[in-house]
Amino acid sequence: MTARLKILAINGSERDGNTADVLRHAAETAEQRGVDFEVVDLRNTWMERCGPCGDCNDRTIACELGDGVSGVVRKMIEADGIVFAAPVHGFGTASLMQTFIERAGVGYLRFDRPLSNKVAGIISVARRYSAGEVWAQLTVNALLNRMIVVGSGFPATVHALHRGDALKDDEGIKNVTRMIDRMVDMIQLLDEHRRLTGRDDLLPSGDVNERVGLALNEMTVSA
């Protein structure tokens, strides 16, 4: 029996609030299409901030901070698609997601770009201001990781202030639904290609990483 396809969502909110509600809606959409959907709540993840070492740009091995980030990275590597979802705080990305992008991106992902050709979807949640800027920041991070970013037409930005408001933003929720549907379409298409060709190296571009490589099997990743 073949394994079920899976989307992993990273929730960068400090609370079980609007972003969590939007992701519950996204989960329903994916599961109706037969794709598993798991949420990693960064608020429940042991995550240190970047330390004072400043070695990142010169290191050729993964970050030595032994917290829960490596386990989330492993989950992302095992997933077929990844949703990055964050609220807007102070006109920018809420700090949990910002920390995660720094720690995972520079500490682990930049070496061999193990998320290459995974399908990405981006959601930002805000009362109103800078929803687009945060959406764009998360999008370029997905592109940096050579993911296949799938859109909904209009960006999946959801406008909400108080708990419960997110699900009342009809247009925002419609954009999230369409984005998840299109992610599922793309994930299934890539899976079909994988099964038909018997090849795992989807869309091999033949390019090399801009960094000195760290073989994935050398990466220290805690369970």
Summarize as ranges the residues that interact with ligand FMN (CB under 6 A): 13, 15, 17-19, 87-91, 125-130, 160-161
Cβ closest to ligand FMN, residue 116 vs residue 175: 175
CB of 173 to ligand FMN, least distance (A): 13
Q: Provide the minimum distance between the beta carbon of 170 and ligand FMN in the complex, in angstroms, as a whole number.
A: 16
Q: Helix, strand, or coil here: 112?
A: coil
Of 32, 23, 41, nearest to 173 by C-alpha is 23
**Locus of tokens 């805690």:** 222
DSSP letter for each residue of 158-205:
EE--STT-GGG-HHHHHHHHHHHHHHHHHHHHHHHHHHHHT-SS-S--
Output 18 or 116, the one with its CB closest to ligand FMN: 18
Nearer residue to ligand FMN within complex by CB, 20 or 148: 20
Distance of CA 41 to the CA centre of its chain: 12
CB-nearer residue toward ligand FMN: 25 or 127: 127
What is the nearest approach in angstroms of ligand FMN to the Cβ of residue 125?
A: 5
Q: How near is the Cβ of 49 to ligand FMN at its closest, in Å?
A: 17
Closest-by-Cβ residue to ligand FMN is: 17
65: helix, strand or coil: coil
